[in-house]
């Protein structure tokens, strides 16, 4: 028990220190978002899970630089969850008239990974495709086997889509 708590505290300390180094050099480099509702598409056991997740979060990201994000949400089982972590965003490009960014995030995620189980805290790598639908509206599309992984085995595949509103400075 003590080792697990020590790991959690160490992980949170590393994330916090990394966030402190993500201060922008110029204000015009910053891209800030308020993240809202999320929708999950589960490949299996979808009747046991909620597809729509009330959420509220903040994302600070810059092209080809470190950023960070944090959010609170209800997971697929209705458990009050949250995440906090760092991100790195590749240079934005255009595809089919939309702006696209590829984002790699490393988050400390606290959620219920198994139906009926306790909340767990894990370090989860998350690849993200950000689609700029309009100037101030984006959609994150992501998925990670770690989002539905517990007791040493993969329990379900999931794709998560999250609506984001750009907060202009």
Contact at 8 Å (CB) between 59 and 96? no
Reported in sequence order, the residue ranges of the chain that DSSP labels E, i.e. its strands, are 31-42, 52-53, 55-61, 66-74, 80-89, 93-95, 98-112, 119-134, 137-142, 149-150, 153-154, 158-167
What's the pLDDT at 132? 93
CA distance 7 to 87: 21
Domain 2-167 in CATH 3.60.150.10: no
Q: Report pLDDT for 137.
A: 92
Task: Please enumerate, as own/partner, the contacts of 87-96 that have beta carbons within 8 Å and a separation of 24 or more.
Answer: 87/59, 87/61, 87/128, 88/64, 89/31, 89/61, 89/62, 89/63, 89/64, 89/65, 89/130, 90/63, 90/64, 91/63, 91/64, 92/63, 92/132
Res 50: pLDDT: 82
The whole-number pLDDT of residue 11 equals 63
To 10 degrees, the CA torsion angle through 143, 35, 72, 89? Answer: 50
Question: How confident is the chain (169 residues) per 10-residue block, as mean pLDDT?
Answer: 53 57 52 85 77 89 89 88 94 91 93 84 91 92 69 70 83
pLDDT given at position 25 = 47
Both tokens of residue 12? 């949170």
* pTM of the model as a whole: 0.76
């Amino acid at each position: 028990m003590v080792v697990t708590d020590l790991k959690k505290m160490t992980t949170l300390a590393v994330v916090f220190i990394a966030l402190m180094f993500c201060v922008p050099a110029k204000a015009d480099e910053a891209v800030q978002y308020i993240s809202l509702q999320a929708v999950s598409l589960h490949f299996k056991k979808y009747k046991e899970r909620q597809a729509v997740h009330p959420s509220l979060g903040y994302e600070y990201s810059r092209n080809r630089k470190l950023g960070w994000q944090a959010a609170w949400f209800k997971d697929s089982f209705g458990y009050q969850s949250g995440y906090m972590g760092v991100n790195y965003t590749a240079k934005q490009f255009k595809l089919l008239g939309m702006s696209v960014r590829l984002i790699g995030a490393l988050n400390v995620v606290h959620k219920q990974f198994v139906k009926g189980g306790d909340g767990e805290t894990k370090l989860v790598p998350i690849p993200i495709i950000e689609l700029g639908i309009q100037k101030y509206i984006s959609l994150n599309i992501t998925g990670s086997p770690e989002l539905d992984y517990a007791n040493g085995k993969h329990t379900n595949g999931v794709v998560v889509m999250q609506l984001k509103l750009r907060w202009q400075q």
